[in-house]
């Protein structure tokens, strides 16, 4: 794989009413990246919070210079907040993660290492060997597995955790998958599916997830309905009908994707 070496990692974190969770998320993330000597910026997008999240972020920024709090001044929504953060990033790579510390900071380091191997994207799976979940609500877990199976069958891919927001991309991928349409949680599937359909290289690593300890989850079960289905069908139509018009030009021969359950990484283009 021929890819430009990376110099700065941006982490984009959408935050809405996360005053209880965000301080420890930022401290642990910054400590982990600093110990590994990874140059980074942490962009936290306050997405219309009605609690003291913004004040907490300003205090964190005064303590940690790498923290860059910004306010989404437009319409609110998970997808809109992430897009706002992506527009603000200075890095040549980005990791999208949650504010509630459900994502493991150590996995951010592993994402960075995999990107530096030359991959365009790194996707994490909580449901492959080496991954895991802690205290996942049973109903959401059931719906998660059903919808991810639907995506696997629709697109013919072996990625089994497409809906998870916690993923990593080179900046060139974010540029290459424009325009981004999703304004809500369906953005979590639009980004990886567009990257796959448009021919960017990717790998899968096992990650861990635990349920939040503070605050209230923002994703509602109803969110996993029409908006997710719409964006999946939209990208599927691009894959089926565009005749490769949006596909990245790839000179190298792609490698076959091993079974996710039996391998710790995979690549395709």
Percentage of the chain modeled with pLDDT above 70: 87
Q: Per-residue confidence at 227, pLDDT binned at 50, 70, 90?
A: very high
CB-based contact 204:266 (threshold 8 Å): yes
Percentage of the chain modeled with pLDDT above 90: 78
CATH number at residue 140: 3.90.550.10
CB-based contact 54:61 (threshold 8 Å): no
Does a structural domain hold residue 1? no
Does a structural domain hold residue 17? yes
Does a structural domain hold residue 129? yes
Q: Per-residue confidence at 251, pLDDT binned at 50, 70, 90?
A: very low
CB-based contact 29:42 (threshold 8 Å): yes
pLDDT digits (tens, 9 = 90+) for 86-104: 999 999 999 999 999 999 9
pLDDT at 216 over 60: no
Quote the pLDDT of residue 269.
38
CA distances from 144 to 43, 139, 225, 241, 248 (A): 28, 8, 11, 28, 30
Q: Which two tokens stand for residue 204?
A: 């899968």
Cα separation, 26 vs 61, whole angstroms: 10
SS percent in the chain: helix, strand, coil, step 5: 40, 15, 45
Does a structural domain hold residue 2? no
Show the domain range for 188.
Answer: 9-241
Does a structural domain hold residue 250? no
- Count of the separate structural domains present in the chain: 1
Poorest-confidence range of 57-61, 182-186, 254-258? 254-258
CA distances from 74 to 48, 56, 70, 81 (A): 9, 21, 12, 9
Q: Which two tokens stand for residue 159?
A: 């990625």
- Please report how many Cα atoms fall inside a 13 Å half-sphere around the Cα of residue 58, on the Cβ side: 5
Does a structural domain hold residue 268? no
Does a structural domain hold residue 260? no
Cα separation, 214 vs 220, whole angstroms: 17
């Amino acid at each position: 794989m021929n890819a430009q070496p990376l110099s700065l990692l941006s982490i984009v974190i959408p935050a809405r009413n996360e005053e209880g969770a965000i301080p420890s998320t930022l401290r642990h993330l910054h400590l982990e990246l600093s110990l590994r000597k990874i140059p980074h910026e942490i962009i936290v997008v306050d997405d219309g919070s009605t609690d003291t999240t913004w004040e907490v972020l300003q205090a964190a920024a005064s303590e940690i210079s790498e923290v860059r709090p910004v306010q989404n001044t437009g319409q609110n929504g998970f997808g809109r907040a992430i897009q706002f953060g992506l527009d603000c990033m200075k890095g040549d790579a980005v990791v999208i993660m949650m504010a509630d510390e459900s994502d493991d900071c150590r996995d951010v380091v592993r994402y960075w290492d995999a990107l530096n191997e030359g991959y365009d994207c790194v996707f994490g799976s909580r449901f492959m060997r080496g991954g895991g979940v802690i205290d996942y609500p049973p109903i959401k877990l059931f719906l998660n597995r059903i919808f991810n199976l639907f995506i696997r069958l629709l697109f013919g891919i072996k990625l089994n955790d497409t809906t998870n927001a916690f993923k990593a991309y080179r900046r060139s991928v974010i540029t290459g998958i424009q325009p981004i349409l999703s304004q809500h949680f369906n953005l979590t599937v639009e980004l990886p599916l567009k990257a796959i359909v448009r021919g960017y290289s990717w790998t899968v690593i096992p990650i861990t997830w635990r349920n939040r300890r503070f605050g209230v989850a923002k994703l509602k079960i109803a969110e996993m309905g029409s908006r997710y289905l719409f964006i999946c069908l939209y990208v599927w139509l691009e894959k089926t009908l565009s005749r490769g018009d949006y596909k990245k030009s790839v000179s190298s021969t792609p490698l076959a994707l091993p079974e996710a359950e039996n391998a710790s990484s995979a690549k395709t283009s």
